[in-house]
Amino acid sequence: MNVQIEAVRGGRRQQISIFDIVVGEVICLKIGDQVPADGLFLDGHSLQVDESSMTGESDHVEINQAQNPFLFSGTKVADGDARMLGILP
């Protein structure tokens, strides 16, 4: 399935296919988005993700720069918004 996500390219936000993500891509996430690649949290507001597809745990996980900056492909944004740096497409 060709899912479109928002990425920063050339200093502007653009819609791109998840198949076009490259290492080092800055990806914008919002509620309801599936995290399209493994990555690192850059900045954002109140980001929580649902990792139940990966861990089986139903509690949402808070993502922040200080304590838990890692985002994993296939998890889903449950709350907040963020920009992440894609490290593995």
Which residues are bridge partners to 30 per DSSP?
A: none
Other beta carbons within 10 Å of 72 = 17
**Class for the domain spanning 4-88:** mainly beta
pLDDT score of 33: 95
Counting as low any pLDDT under 50, the low residues of the chain are: none
pLDDT score of 88: 79
Query: What is the C-alpha separation between 84 and 43, in angstroms, rounded?
Result: 7
pLDDT score of 23: 94
Query: What is the C-alpha separation between 50 and 32, in angstroms, rounded?
Result: 10
pLDDT score of 57: 81
pLDDT score of 42: 97
Which residues are bridge partners to 45 per DSSP?
A: 81
pLDDT score of 55: 81
Which position has the token pair 């509690």?
A: 59
Which position has the token pair 């922040």?
A: 64
pLDDT score of 41: 98
Query: What is the C-alpha separation between 51 and 12, in angstroms, rounded?
Result: 29
